[in-house]
Amino acid sequence: MGFNLALGGTIAPNLILFGEVTSSAASNPTVAQGGDIWRADRSSFAVVSIGPGLTYYFMPANVFLSGSLLLTQVQFSDMYSREDTEYGPGARLALGKEWLVGRNWGLGLAADAAWSSIPPTNPSSGAKNATTTSFGLSFSATYN
């Protein structure tokens, strides 16, 4: 399940500059590490990101392409503890279509993909960066 909130404004015709906060979470996730894959029962995994982005609207179709550069943190918790990683780089892309439902409101759908690379908490341990990827469909609501 995911959530994304973006706030910004028009900087040129059809071009929006924004800042966004995103969160994606999974309960009992499947984890891959060092060639091993297992299900982490009774746990949750969340990816939280913040950063700037740009959206361009292709008019008059009201189709948009959006991209963000993000600072991302992973939060892992189980029934005993919670662990937060350091922040690492991330990115998010979305392609969508909106329909005008009022003078200033557009509602639509988008396909999106996100990626991040999180550095290990203890770099001297020899651990590699943790990489996250996600793909999804989103509902969008835009106020102009």
Domains of the chain, start order = 2-143 (2.40.160)
Overall pTM surpassing 0.75 (yes/no):
yes
**Which residue's entry shows tokens 């091993």?**
36
* Encoded amino acid at 22, one letter: T
pLDDT tens, position by position, 63-91? 999 999 999 998 878 778 887 888 999 99
Predicted confidence (pLDDT) per residue in 11-36, tens digit: 999 999 999 999 887 777 776 667 77
- Residue 9 pLDDT grade (very low, low, confident, very high; cuts 50, 70, 90): very high
